[in-house]
Amino acid sequence: EAQVTQNPRYLITVTGKKLTVTCSQNMNHEYMSWYRQDPGLGLRQIYYSMNVEVTDKGDVPEGYKVSRKEKRNFPLILESPSPNQTSLYFCASSLRPGGSGYTFGSGTRLTVV
Amino acid sequence: KQEVTQIPAALSVPEGENLVLNCSFTDSAIYNLQWFRQDPGKGLTSLLLIQSSQREQTSGRLNASLDKSSGRSTLYIAASQPGDSATYLCAVLNYGGATNKLIFGTGTLLAVQP
């Protein structure tokens, strides 16, 4: 089944403890992206990747890192999480940048206390 | 800067009713527009994708239209069912954007009453 898989689905952590949210797609998509969803603010892009080893900042990149060493994986790294990063996170992919539809993962609900 | 607005923010209808959800955007230079469905605590499921050159797309009881010049899209749901209850999001992809960023509206929360 074609899909985007995120792990974990739920995570509660403490301020300052480094964490990684994994994202993997099995559709050979070039483009991958991370979004966060907050009440009243909708979905906002954090980082995106046009292809392997090509990443760039979205609208709200502060406090996050990403890497794209392989085409299928695009992990989101929080080096020192803070409470304002409590949110619902989504990974998405598309076949190529622009012009095609996006497939989203099921989401990761992160709580930082 | 592209802004996407969805009205109404919430809608409650009785089962069987036909309904229309609205999406408007400020910059008509879009690549495409996509409608998503989101169930509580879940991910986004793509419903329909309309390319900028298209006027509408249909899938089952769903029909989405696009009027680029006026910056509007509508999602028509025929013969609504309780299982249609969810949040519906529209998102646009702008031309020429190096980020290939989807810009989302804040959604319409739909409740279909049995």
Q: Residue A5's pLDDT band (boundaries 50, 70, 90)? A: very high
pLDDT digits (tens, 9 = 90+) for B19-74: 999 999 999 888 889 999 999 877 888 899 998 899 999 999 999 999 999 999 99
Q: Residue B5, CB half-sphere, CA atoms under 13 Å: how many?
A: 9
Tell me how many degrees the CA angle B43-B45-B51 measures, rounded to the nearest 5: 135
Please tell me if residue A97 touches chain B, with a CB cutoff of 8 Å: yes
CA–CA separation, A93 and A103 (whole Å): 5
| CB spacing of A98 vs B31 below 8 angstroms | yes
Q: Smallest Cβ distance to A102: which of B51, B99, B102?
A: B102
Report pLDDT for A96: 74
Q: Which phi and psi (to 5°) does residue B49 adopt?
A: -125, 125
Report pLDDT for A109: 95
pLDDT digits (tens, 9 = 90+) for A23-67: 999 999 999 999 999 988 889 999 999 889 999 998 899 999 999
- Determine the distance in angstroms separating the CA of A106 from the nearest CA of chain B, rounded to an integer: 4
CA–CA separation, B6 and B106 (whole Å): 7
Q: Smallest Cβ distance to A58: which of B44, B101, B107?
A: B101
CA–CA separation, A71 and A57 (whole Å): 18
Of chain A, the percentage scoring pLDDT greater than 90 comes to 81
- Residues 14-73 in A contacting B (C-alpha not used; CB under 8 Å): 31, 33, 35, 40-43, 45, 48, 50, 56, 58-59
Burial class (CB in 10 A: 0-12, 13-18, 19+), B47: buried
Please tell me if residue A101 touches chain B, with a CB cutoff of 8 Å: yes
Please tell me if residue B89 touches chain A, with a CB cutoff of 8 Å: yes
Q: Quickly list DSSP for A24-76.
A: EESS--SEEEEEEEETTTEEEEEEEEEETTEEEE-S--TT-EE--SSSSB--E
Report pLDDT for B98: 54
Beta bridge partners of A50: none
Q: Residue B95's pLDDT band (boundaries 50, 70, 90)? A: low
Report pLDDT for A12: 97
Amino acid at site B114: P
Does the pLDDT of residue B85 top 70, yes or no? Answer: yes
What tokens appear for B30 in the block?
A: 């879009």
Please tell me if residue A98 touches chain B, with a CB cutoff of 8 Å: yes
| CB spacing of A103 vs B89 below 8 angstroms | no
- The answer to whether the beta carbons of residues B72 and B84 sit under 8 Å apart is no
